[in-house]
Amino acid sequence: MVLQEISQALQSGDVNGVKQGVQQALNSNIEPRVVLYQGLLSAMETVGVKFKNNEVFVPEVLIAARAMNAGMELLKPKLAETGVEPIGSVVLGTVRGDLHDIGKNLVRMMLEGAGLSVFDLGVDVSAQQFVAAIQKHNPEIVGLSALLTTTMGEMKSVIEAIEAAGLRGKVKIMVGGAPVTSKFAQEIGADLYAKDAAEASFEAKKLVG
Ligand code: B1M
């Protein structure tokens, strides 16, 4: 069945296989939302579980995510026509002073794979930029990434700025990155800590779900 072929192709990072499968499914009048959930997202979830269990690693997740994005490009216009809504939204960024984005990008891909829409602010994002993005996009979750012990403290500044702007009650704050721990997350008043991209997407999905 074509949905299984899409799933297999996605899990092995086969961009052309995913594209062909998605196109074939659309040509056969399979509903775009079925292609999305049963073809792409369930396969990405499987990759996420394997990543969590150390059965696959960062490169495999990245190529699977690239294949998912290729399939999404074909699906997006059809989904827009049939009105499939994302399950929630996340404002995401690497905090000010920090230029590391490989992990953050992986988190974004897994969140998108879980059906959330992500407003990715990039790297070196100031507290005020996070606040402005929350005001603009009204997300359920704000995700902060930091890879340096010297920039972890900036997460606290972002949380304080969100509080000062009167937005703290409106968003849940998720933090992560190699030096970040759940103890640190608690100390700075974050709501969620995720140790990796798979956990970030599970937690986010649980929260909005
Ligand atoms: Co940098 N760097 N780096 N670096 N770099 C580290 C982080 C470092 C540990 C290397 C080392 O010394 N052993 C060290 C930090 C030490 C510390 O503070 N504890 C370090 C340093 C010191 C520096 C510079 C200061 C070096 C210098 O210039 N003297 C400099 C700082 C620049 C800056 O940011 N201002 C610097 C620069 C760079 C490059 C630009 C060269 C490059 C970044 C390229 C890029 O990102 N586009 C780079 C890289 C690649 C690394 C290492 C080698 C790899 C990081 C990485 O991408 N890992 C890193 C050493 C290492 O980790 N082995 C190192 C793979 C990625 C998938 O994992 O980012 O941990 P990670 O993300 C994971 C989780 O942490 C989690 O999920 C991800 C996927 O599972 N996660 C979240 C991340 N964000 C999350 C958010 C969440 C939830 C989970 O919720 C929102």
> 193 alpha carbon to ligand 1 midpoint, in Å?
17
3-class DSSP state for residue 117? strand
Give the pLDDT mean for 155-161.
98
Does 82 score more than 80 pLDDT?
no
Q: Supply the pTM of this predicted model.
A: 0.85
Q: Which amino acid is at 24?
A: Q
Neighbours of 138 (CB within 10 A): 12
Distance CA(81)–CA(59), nearest Å, equals: 33
Token pair, residue 3, equals 């949905």
Over range 106-130, report the average pLDDT. 93
Q: What's the half-sphere exposure (Cβ side, CA atoms, 13 Å) at 86?
A: 18
Q: What residues does ligand 1 touch, defined as CB less than 6 Å away?
A: 58, 97-104, 106-107, 143-145, 147-150, 174-179, 194, 196-197, 200
DSSP H helices, the chain, are 2-11, 15-27, 32-34, 42-52, 58-82, 102-113, 127-137, 149-164, 182-188, 197-208
Q: Indicate the range of 43-47, 94-98, 169-173, 192-196 predicted with least confidence.
A: 43-47
Amino acid at 157: S
Tell me the average pLDDT of the chain. 93
For residues 50-55, give the mean pLDDT. Answer: 91
- From the CA of 68, how far away is ligand 1's center (Å)? 25
* For the chain, percent of residues with pLDDT exceeding 90: 75
